[in-house]
Amino acid sequence: MERLQKVLAQAGVASRRKSETLIVAGKVKVNGVVVTELGTKVSSSDRVEVEGVQLVKETYVYFLLYKPRGIISTVDDEKGRKTVLDLFPQIEQRIFPVGRLDYDTSGVIIMTNDGDFSYLMTHPKFGIKKKYIAKVKGIPGREALRKLETGIDLEDGRTAPAHVKMQSVDKKSESALIEITIHEGKNRQVRRMFDAIGCPVQKLRRESFGNVTTHGLNAGDARELTKHEVKQLRVLAETGKIG
């Protein structure tokens, strides 16, 4: 027996959190009866429907996408803008992005239909590290960089410690290239962190997500993650170490 929201997530309906929202909203039926209690458990013999459509377990797929700037990291957009799904026209499974990247941010994003995997990758308690390369206006000093490293007070809470490394400085244009690694996923977090030290981001790219990188890909390219890469990511989330 498994919790209903976990079953929905494993079937690729949505992430676990979104699945919980669907249940509470009364959009899920078990054996013809609407279920709104999150603790409900179901077995493989139970008939589960979401918004009138019977649940059919999909084969899990995992893709690494090098998201270009100017693409929305959602499955749809009310303004009609291009989304990451538009870069996967041939994929039959109902994939969705693991976490998000801002419209103006490029780089690594994982696409899957495995809600459980998505939960492991995105919940802060699992500490999956994401490395970004930021081009910022201004040249932050040692004290400013230390603030990034120890934590910045944002309106939605203090950021966790980060690893920060100055890559290069351009005194002529008064800008700097800085590497920053975090394990959280607050909305526009990296940009807000640099805003807080007075060095707004001019360009931002996520270079790595856990153990996977954009190496060998151009913006807009995607490839399937290998079974070994998926296993490594799971182990990393569960143990904090590469398997």
List % helix, strand, coil for the chain (3-state, nearest 5): 25, 30, 45
pLDDT tens digit string along 205-214?
999 999 999 9
pLDDT confidence tier of residue 236, bands split at 50, 70 and 90: very high
Q: Which of 102, 170, 195, 221 is catalytic?
A: 102
Residue from 198, 195, 217, 196 nearest 207 by CA: 217
Cβ atoms 112, 60 nearer than 8 A: yes
For the chain, the residue count is: 243
| Residue-wise burial string across 202-225, b where 16 or more C-beta atoms lie within 10 A, e elsewhere | eebbbbbbbebbbeeeeeeebeeb
The CA distance from 221 to 233, in Å, is 21
Does the pLDDT at position 58 exceed 90?
no
Helix (H) or strand (E) holding 97: strand 96-97
Q: What is the mean pLDDT of residues 48-53?
A: 93
Q: Are 182 and 130 in contact (CB under 8 A)?
A: yes
Assess whether pLDDT exceeds 90 at residue 152: yes
Question: What is the 8-class DSSP label of residue 210?
Answer: T
pLDDT at res. 186:
86
- Report the distance separating Cα 61 and Cα 59, nearest Å: 6
Higher pLDDT, 94 or 151: 151
More confident residue, 96 or 45: 96
- Mean pLDDT, rounded, for 123-129: 89
Quick one: pLDDT band at residue 242, thresholds 50, 70, 90? low
Mean pLDDT of 165-190: 95
In this model, does residue 239 exceed pLDDT 90? no
pLDDT computed for residue 77 by the predictor: 83
Q: Which two tokens stand for residue 20?
A: 């919980």
Distance from C-alpha of 113 to C-alpha of 106, rounded to nearest angstrom: 22
Annotation marks residue 76 as catalytic: no
Output 162 or 186, whichever has higher pLDDT: 162
**Domains, the chain, with CATH or none:** 2-54 (3.10.290.10), 62-124+215-239 (3.30.70.580), 129-209 (3.30.70.1560)
Rounded-to-integer distance, Cα 181 and Cα 165, Å: 9
Residues 44-83 as b/e (b if ≥16 CB within 10 A, e otherwise) read eeeebebeeeebeebebbbbbbbbbeebbbeeeeeeeeeb
Whole-number pLDDT of residue 94:
83
- Average pLDDT score over residue span 55-84: 90
Confidence (pLDDT) at 12: 72
Q: Are 104 and 139 in contact (CB under 8 A)?
A: no
Which tops the pLDDT comparison, 35 or 92?
35
Displacement of CA 218 from its chain's centroid (Å): 19
Average pLDDT over residues 155-176: 95
Bridge partners, residue 157, by sequence: 154
pLDDT tens-digit readout, 83-107: 999 999 888 888 999 988 999 999 9
Interval 1-14 mean pLDDT? 82
Measured between alpha carbons, how far is 203 from 181 in angstroms, rounded to an integer? Answer: 16
Of the listed ranges 3-12, 57-66, 104-113, the least confidently predicted one is 3-12
Mean of the per-residue pLDDT values of the chain: 92
132-145: average pLDDT: 97
